[in-house]
């Protein structure tokens, strides 16, 4: 497994960034967050990119950043929830990466995002309904994983430990 990237995919609010940071620390890997890279590349917040230039433009930058991040060696890569929508993103991430899908129920996701305002796609009055709708639309796209963890009942630390178990072959 040495030097192979660990790639976390999953819906908004499942904990990809928190788990990724902790995992990188435990594995002594570097940590890459593609959303953060997009923000530093454009010098803009993701919500502003969506507002000013729209989702299509965001996806274009996201693909460029993902292609670059995929070339890392020994990194934990936390992706944005919509990264799976473009198959070439997944092709790139799979070249040198082990893909782990963090799966969660709409209610778990809702509880995690309800007090945060930075996700443009969930900027709706009925957030739970929007989550359910997007999850349904994306169900098949998330099936591109090597391994999956149901995170509903788990803390960030427990999810990170599960990843380590999977990588050791005990998962
Ligand atoms: C998105 C998820 C976000 C961010 C953008 C679009 C999506 O990342 O990339 O708002 O389409 O699901 P997180 O999953 O880190 O919230």
Phi and psi based region of residue 64 (left: phi greater than 0; alpha: psi -120 to 50; beta: remaining): alpha
Report pTM. 0.97
- Residues in the chain with pLDDT values less than 50: 1
| Closest ligand 1 atom number to CA of residue 13 | 16
φ, ψ of residue 31 in degrees (nearest 5): -120, 130
Residues 103 and 86: their CA atoms lie apart, in Å, by 19
Choose which residue among 39, 59, 119 to substitute to test ligand 1 binding: the one with the highest number of ligand atoms within 8 A of its C-beta: 119
Q: What pLDDT digit, counting tens, does each position of 76-111 carry?
A: 999 999 999 999 999 999 999 999 999 999 999 999
């Amino acid at each position: 497994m040495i030097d192979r990237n660990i790639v976390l995919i999953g819906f908004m609010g499942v904990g990809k960034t928190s788990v990724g940071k902790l995992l990188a620390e435990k594995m002594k890997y570097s940590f890459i967050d593609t959303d953060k890279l997009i923000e530093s590349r454009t010098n803009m917040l993701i919500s502003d990119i969506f507002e000013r230039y729209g989702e299509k433009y965001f996806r274009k930058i996201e693909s460029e950043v993902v292609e670059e991040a995929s070339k890392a060696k020994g990194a934990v890569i936390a992706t944005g929830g919509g990264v799976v929508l473009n198959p070439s993103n997944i092709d790139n991430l799979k070249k040198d990466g082990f893909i782990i899908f963090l799966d969660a129920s709409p209610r778990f996701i809702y509880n995690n995002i309800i007090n945060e305002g930075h996700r443009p796609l969930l900027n709706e009055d009925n957030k739970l309904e929007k989550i359910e709708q997007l999850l349904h639309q994306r169900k098949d796209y998330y099936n591109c994983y090597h391994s999956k963890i149901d995170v509903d009942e788990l803390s960030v630390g427990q999810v990170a430990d599960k990843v380590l178990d999977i990588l050791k072959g005990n998962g």
